[in-house]
Structure formats: C-alpha cells, structure tokens
Amino acid sequence: MSGPPTSADTGRGRFITLEGGEGTGKSTQQGRLAAWLRDQGLTVVETREPGGSPGAEQIRDLLVTGEAGRWDAMTETLLHFAARRDHFVRTIQPALAAGTWVVSDRFADSTLAYQGFGHGLGRAPVEALYRLVLDDFTPDLTLILDLPAQAGLDRARQRIGDSGAAEDRYESMDESFHERLYEGFRDIARREPGRCRLIDASGSEDAVAAAIRNAVADRFQDLSP
C-alpha cells in the first residue's frame, strides 16, 4: 500500500476542493490556501463551481439567481453536471496535466449535498451522473468546512445584505433545506474519510486557515504547514 501522494508524484498537479454550506467561508479560505501553496513553490489555479470556464459561468447565472423554485431537483442536477463537464474539460483537466495544482470552491460533493440531500433527489441519480460525466476522476483531497446551518445562513445573509449581491437563490431557500444539506456534507465526510477532511469552520479565519494547512500537509507529506 503506497503512502500519501506528494507534489513530485508523476508530475501531475493535484486537485483540492473546498465544500460546505452557505456562509462557511469557502471563498476566503480558498484564497488563503492557494497563497500558501504558492509559497510552497507550486503553481496554482483557483476556480469555482458552478462556473470555472466561460460556458460553465453562463450556466452559473441560471443556477444562483432567480426565485428559489425555478428548477426542480433533477433539472438543477443536470445543469450542474453540464457546467461541471465544461469546467473539467476546459479548466481542471488541462491544468492538472500541466502539473498545476487546482483549488476549487465547490465540486461534485455540493451537488450531492444540495440536490441529493437538500432537494431530496437521492444519492443514486447524482452518482450515476457523476460516473457518466467524470468517470473515475475524484479530487485528491476534499476539505469540508463544517458549520451548523443556521450559523452559516446568518453569515451568508449578512454578506448579501452588505454587498447587495444578486446571487442569493440558495440562501433564500428555507432552513429545513439547509439543515438537510448540512447533514449531507457530514454524511459525505463519514463515507469517504480517505478523501475528505472535516474542518471546524466556527473559529476565526486564521484558525480555520491553520486547520486547512495542517490537513493539506498531512495529505501531501512534502508540504510544510
């Protein structure tokens, strides 16, 4: 059995995803993680879902704006995977092949949590679409920022109120939806402990960043926290 991968393995880049519900601080921590990886001498691409490529960004507009019930669960899931395929082919795959590390604010675990758990579509349809769109590709490491649903919603709604952001469709969904997706992310972490690390997101920005660095350094042993 081989040990954890290192940045020198095969010359291929590594794919790290940050997951979690609304208001968990993924975007902030993505930037801090990418900066730290660059300090380690790595070339890093920061990306996001939905989005991350021109075509996927167009689909993003359909998903994150408008009224909460504009799509049913299956339609949402198909839109997410359409965007994901374009993102994967045009951004993620070429970067990894070139030896670049990719840090993404959300990936397929969000679809399982939001549509599979939150909207009640279930695990099987999401997993079937995953295999069709991505085959056996998986992130090298997934960091799930863990914060109770109400605390995250309070943060997210404050941010939207301060900025006047239009991308508030998911934040406008009822609290029971957010409780289900919170449990969904924790279920994903329990089922895949080899890939996923659950990060307590309730502390300060610096404390969360330190926990993330430790988790990444533990996974990729030639990096130093």
Q: Which residues of the chain carry a pLDDT beneath 50?
A: 1-10
State how far the alpha carbon of 168 is from the alpha carbons of 22, 104, 115, 119, 220, in Å: 10, 20, 16, 17, 35
Closest CA to 104 of 83, 122, 123, 118: 83
pLDDT of residue 58: 97
Task: List the helix and strand counts (H, then E) for the chain.
Answer: 9, 5
Its CATH class, for the domain covering 14-219, is alpha beta
